[in-house]
Structure 1
Amino acid sequence: MSEPAPMVSPPTGAEPVRRPSRIWAFLVRLIRLAILFGMIVAIALLWQQVDDINSIRAAFGDRLDEVRTRLAETRAAQMPATELERRLTVLQTELDSTQEQARATARQVEPVLELLRQGRPAWYRAEALYLMQMANQALQLRGDAPAALRALWLADKNLEVLGDPRFLPVRETLAREMAMLRALPTVDVPGISLQLSTLAAGVEQWPLRHHVPSHWAANPPQAEQASRPAELWGQFLAAMRQLIEIRRNEEPIAALVSPELERLQRLHTILQLQAARLALLQRDADTFRRELDSALGSLSTYFDVADPEVRSAREQLEALREMPIDPKRPDLSGSLAQLRTLEAEMVMP
């Protein structure tokens, strides 16, 4: 039998310490590798998520662009329809208005066409009837007797052209009415109006009753002084005579008016004359005479009646007051009523 190997005792000193250090170093390296591997895995996962997010965003953007494109196409497809509907509405409105105007024109033209169908006599009768209506309006509304006379004369000429004996009573009445119009006194409205305008324009130059006379104004100072005592005494006496004047007046002395009141008095008189002129144009005889009376009162109250211009203005106003600016107007409805009666009898079957 062989002898057992001898027991080897572990070395003493540093050999037992180096083995644990190597183990810790290996563990540290292993942990570092694990951490590095984990970081790489985490970065890979994050990168994948970023790619997924970018893909989702790109897909969402493409979808949004598609939706916007479809919306724009839809709007573009709807716009012409809306515009067409609007234009159709406008055209329909214009068509309705044109049809209404056409119907109104037809209603207005229908009487004329009816007259044309009836022939020339119906046309002359209608024209005579219209002229008689115009004559009544001219006389009653405007007081224009010459225009009314001219209209009646033309109506009589139309009836004369017809030569129908049934219109002889109407022509007889027309003759009487024209004779009454010729008998009316002629009123020169333009001449009277111009006369009143001239008087109103002259009010500014008429002297007022309570105005300071010109001969009472102070004399200008003399340029040269008298050298002799006699001349000085004579000038003194002359100056005293001009300063002191004694007069007897049984009427109360009126106070002088201010420039503002003087202007007001002149404007008041001008307005009275213009109001009389307006009443003349309207053929309002009562107002015309009332305004002329007021103007005559203003002349007596405010102005110097001894002045020639004021006295002439008073005479003109008194003469105008007596003029008949609106004579009694005759009744011209007799011939019109007769013609209407005959027209109704001739139209009836």
Structure 2
Amino acid sequence: MSEQLPAEHTPEQNKEKKSGNLVAWLSMLLNLLLAAAIALVLYWVWPQWSGLQQRQQQLTEQQQLSQSAAQQQQQEFSQSLEQQLAGLKTELAETSALLQQQQMQLQALQQDQQKQLSSSTAWALWQSQQLVQLAGQKIWLEQDIPAALRVLVGAEEQLSQQQDPAFVPLRQAMLSDIQALQQLQLPPISSIQLDLAQLRQLVQNLPLRQSEPVLQQVADTASAQDWQGRFWQQWGTFWGSLVQVRPTAPEDLAVLSAEQQLSLRNTLTQQLLLAELAAVKYQNGPYQSALQQAMDSLQRYFRPADPQVQQSADRLAKLSTLNVMLPAPSRLQSSEVLKELKVTEKGL
């Protein structure tokens, strides 16, 4: 059996075979390069893409949380606003009810007042009562008789304009009170004040029994503050040291220092001032006691032969004869008549 030998390749066939192998190798090399490039791209790009995906997911979650929180806040705000509106509506309703109630009370009060004051008699009696009470305050609290007279005269004139026979007893009582007040003998308080003020000015110039030592100029110009301090010191011991005029004792003629002489003058001044204050308050007891002390001091420590001392003593004696007590009536007839009218009058 004969063996078949491979056919020999021609040069052209060999050339084609080599070019085919070269193409295959180049194709494989390109595939490898492409795979390597893809792997390299995936190696660098994949982490960044994954990070971007994670960031996007986080942003999405945050956005969702923010939206949820905003929705929750909006719901809470809406609920709070609804509650506030409900509270305001409730307060408005309560306020409206309270205003209506107050208006009703005001209307009822106005109706009551109109009923009470619809009668001119009731109004006139109420006004007269107020004026009589004011006159009583002027008499017993303020001790101002002229002012009380003016009030009663005005009240009687107003009643006379009503021309109501029911007011005749009240007008007669008012006229009786006015006449009683006009007949009162009021003490001359202004004249007493003037005399005592002049005597206080003369005290520093009255000569004392002692001729030595002479008062210094500093003592004559003592300040008002020191005088006031001495005044309140003497006030504390005034009421417990009331004395009567007595003959001059030997110790009264002792030589006094300048301070003692100044103290005696200030004491006499204070006693005169106390008498003036008591006269203004219509307190006859303190007034007489202060004058008695002033006359005793004048007799004991000042020179009796001096004309100014004699004149001062005469003026004090004249002032002591005056009674400064206010002769006020114990009651007003008008007040008693008003009480009777209030019982019978329905409108008051």
TM-score by length of 1: 0.54
Alignment partners' CA distance in 2, 1:260 and 1:343: 67
The Cα of 1:129 is off from its aligned counterpart by 1.2
Matching residue of 2:193: 193
Q: Over residues 193-223 of structure 1, what are the superposed CA-to-partner deviations in whole Å (9 max), with x where a residue is unaligned?
A: 1221121122111111122499xxxxxxxxx
Alignment RMSD (CA, Å):
3.6
List gaps (5 residues or longer) in structure 1.
1-94, 215-250
Answering whether residue 131 of structure 2 is matched by residue 128 of structure 1, we say no
Matching residue of 2:341: 342
Relative to structure 1, the CA distance from residue 256 to residue 300 in structure 2 (aligned partners, 3 Å threshold; closer, same or farther) is same
List gaps (5 residues or longer) in structure 2.
1-94, 215-248
The Cα of 1:295 is off from its aligned counterpart by 0.5
Q: Which amino acid aligns with 2:185?
A: P
Matching residue of 2:180: 180
**Secondary structure of the equivalent of 2:318?**
helix
8 A contact 2:116–2:347 mirrored in 1: no
Alignment partners' CA distance in 1, 2:142 and 2:111: 29
Alignment partners' CA distance in 1, 2:276 and 2:334: 34
Percent of aligned positions with the same letter in both sequences?
Answer: 28
Alignment partners' CA distance in 2, 1:290 and 1:337: 38
**Secondary structure of the equivalent of 1:197?**
helix
Relative to structure 1, the CA distance from residue 111 to residue 326 in structure 2 (aligned partners, 3 Å threshold; closer, same or farther) is farther
8 A contact 2:291–2:320 mirrored in 1: yes
Alignment partners' CA distance in 1, 2:115 and 2:192: 45
8 A contact 2:186–2:327 mirrored in 1: no
Matching residue of 2:289: 290
8 A contact 1:184–1:327 mirrored in 2: no
Alignment partners' CA distance in 1, 2:208 and 2:319: 23
Matching residue of 1:144: 144
Relative to structure 1, the CA distance from residue 275 to residue 173 in structure 2 (aligned partners, 3 Å threshold; closer, same or farther) is same
Alignment partners' CA distance in 2, 1:169 and 1:338: 7
Alignment partners' CA distance in 2, 1:125 and 1:163: 13
Alignment partners' CA distance in 1, 2:292 and 2:267: 13
Relative to structure 1, the CA distance from residue 334 to residue 197 in structure 2 (aligned partners, 3 Å threshold; closer, same or farther) is same
**1:73-112, aligned counterparts within 5 Å?**
none
Alignment partners' CA distance in 2, 1:317 and 1:311: 10
Q: Which amino acid aligns with 1:192?
A: I
Q: Which amino acid aligns with 2:211?
A: H
Matching residue of 1:224: none
Q: Which amino acid aligns with 1:143?
A: Q
8 A contact 2:140–2:328 mirrored in 1: yes
TM-score by length of 2: 0.54
The Cα of 1:178 is off from its aligned counterpart by 1.6
The Cα of 1:142 is off from its aligned counterpart by 2.7
8 A contact 1:115–1:122 mirrored in 2: no
**Secondary structure of the equivalent of 1:142?**
coil
Matching residue of 1:316: 315
The Cα of 1:120 is off from its aligned counterpart by 4.0
Matching residue of 2:56: none
The Cα of 1:327 is off from its aligned counterpart by 4.1
Alignment partners' CA distance in 1, 2:155 and 2:293: 44
Alignment partners' CA distance in 1, 2:111 and 2:338: 18
Alignment partners' CA distance in 2, 1:111 and 1:134: 28
**1:33-44, aligned counterparts within 5 Å?**
none
8 A contact 2:275–2:287 mirrored in 1: yes
8 A contact 1:140–1:329 mirrored in 2: yes
8 A contact 1:272–1:295 mirrored in 2: yes
**1:1-349, aligned counterparts within 5 Å?**
113-114=113-114, 117-212=117-212, 252=250, 254-347=253-346
Q: Which amino acid aligns with 1:331?
A: S
The Cα of 1:119 is off from its aligned counterpart by 4.8
Q: Over residues 245-291 of structure 1, what are the superposed CA-to-partner deviations in whole Å (9 max), with x where a residue is unaligned?
A: xxxxxx95822110010011011111101111111111101111111
The Cα of 1:115 is off from its aligned counterpart by 8.0
Q: Over residues 94-125 of structure 1, what are the superposed CA-to-partner deviations in whole Å (9 max), with x where a residue is unaligned?
A: x9xxx9xx99xx8xx97995588425443332
